[in-house]
A = this chain, B = another copy of it.
Amino acid sequence: MASEYLPISELIKSRRSIRKFTSEPIDDAMIDQILTAGIWAPSGKNNQPWKFAVIKSEALRKLLAGLTHYTKIIENAPCCIAVFLDHNLSYDRTKDCQAIGACIQNMLLVIHDMGLGAVWLGEILRNKEKVAELLNPESSGLNAPSNLELMAVVALGHPAEKGGKGKRKALDEVMFLRR
């Protein structure tokens, strides 16, 4: 299934949101490769404003799943990566959110290239404070949870569905000037 060496344009266009996964686990080496792709995104002043929590434990996933309408996706995904904005590192919210989007996109592309599937979940942000509490990083000594704002959860695993067709507007609808 892995699409190794697929040209990048094809990789980008063939990626789809995958919401159903097999029970096959994701090993830590894969997760490290995915996160490494994420952190090589550019950021304004190279401030690298992202922080990550990797959730594989079934018990913790069940608690996380209770904080979104998309319960089943998180319950059935063997791995979730919660992506946070670290306010201690933030310098411009607009630019920091863009950088985090670039980081997530890198991860999605590498996940797809590995033959895995993922979905970028945003609805859970309505419970972002509760997610930050649940994944409380205080014990790690890295940060007080109040400094971390949830930006997205990426649920991933081995795909058990093909994904949708993918629809985009035509270029001439989105490019208003070429001079």
- CB-based contact B12/A176 at 8 Å: no
Across the interface, A174 reaches (CB within 8 A) one of B48, B93, B110, B176, namely: B48
How would residues 1 to 42 of chain A score, 1 for a CB under 8 Å from any chain B CB and 0 otherwise? 000110111011101010000000000100111011101111
A104 interfacial contact with B, CB 8 Å? yes
- CB-based contact B51/A37 at 8 Å: no
Task: Name which residue of chain B comes closest to A119, CB basis.
Answer: B42
Least CB distance, A51 to chain B, in whole angstroms: 6
A74 interfacial contact with B, CB 8 Å? no
Contact (A168, B48) CB under 8 Å given A101-B98, A110-B9, A178-B28: yes
- Which residues of B lie under 8 Å from residue A69 when comparing CB positions? none
- CB-based contact A137/B177 at 8 Å: yes
- CB-based contact A39/B174 at 8 Å: yes
- CB-based contact A7/B9 at 8 Å: no
- CB-based contact A57/B110 at 8 Å: no
- CB-based contact B95/A98 at 8 Å: no
List residues of A whose CB falls within 8 A of some B CB: 4-5, 7-9, 11-13, 15, 17, 28, 31-33, 35-37, 39-42, 44, 46, 48, 50-57, 60, 92-95, 97-106, 108-110, 113, 120, 122, 125, 135, 137, 140, 142-143, 148, 151-152, 166-169, 171, 173-179
**Contact sample, A vs B, 30 pairs, CB 8 Å cutoff:** A4-B7, A5-B7, A9-B36, A9-B113, A12-B40, A12-B109, A12-B110, A13-B36, A13-B40, A35-B175, A36-B171, A39-B168, A39-B169, A39-B171, A40-B168, A42-B120, A48-B169, A51-B174, A53-B176, A53-B178, A54-B177, A56-B179, A57-B179, A60-B179, A98-B100, A98-B101, A99-B101, A100-B101, A102-B108, A137-B176
